[in-house]
Amino acid sequence: MSVRDLIPWGRTTNASLPSRMRDEPVSPFLTLHREMNRLFDDVFSGLGGMPGLATRGLGWPSVELVETEQGLRVSAELPGLDEKDVELTIDDGVLTLRGEKRAETTDKERGYSERSYGRFERVLALPFAVEEDKVEATFRNGVLSVTLPRSAKAPERGRRIAINGGTPQVTAH
């Protein structure tokens, strides 16, 4: 078997095998090797193939946003945390959720100790103006619920910015 047989032809594209490889007899070990490579490519492609490993760190905690006529409801799943471990701030149309979890386990009989530490921060741009003074938050059974009432004042509209065209202006130095 040559090194050329180990090249993963066509794993990510629909390109066919080189003509030289089509005519050669197929070894069962080579077939197993190619199938194992294809399996690993499928599993590890795009980080979406392994939900437990790949998505645990991305976007934690899980946050749900529900827009109603009255405002916005935000729910965040924070298992194993207490309300003192979580910080919630709102500033200039942005809701920020921060927290950290520390855990330590010691088993003197077996002679080991284990520590874990994790921090997170989720920043959510709010889709409309809210009354920041009337925002309410509750924390029960590891779920943070935030109610953000819609502001009564009209939302600020964007404005068009004129673009000057034509000849460039010359400035004296």
Q: Above 90 in pLDDT, residue 89?
A: yes
- For the stretch 13-30, what's the b/e string if a residue is b when 16 or more beta carbons lie within 10 angstroms of its beta carbon? eeeeeeeeeeeeeeeeee
Q: What is the pTM of this model?
A: 0.54
- What is the pLDDT averaged over residues 101-110? 86
Lowest mean pLDDT among 5-14, 34-43, 97-106: 5-14
Burial class of residue 4, CB neighbours in 10 A (0-12, 13-18, 19+): exposed
Summarize pLDDT for 106-161 with one digit per residue, the tens: 888 888 888 888 888 999 999 888 998 899 999 999 999 999 999 887 555 556 66
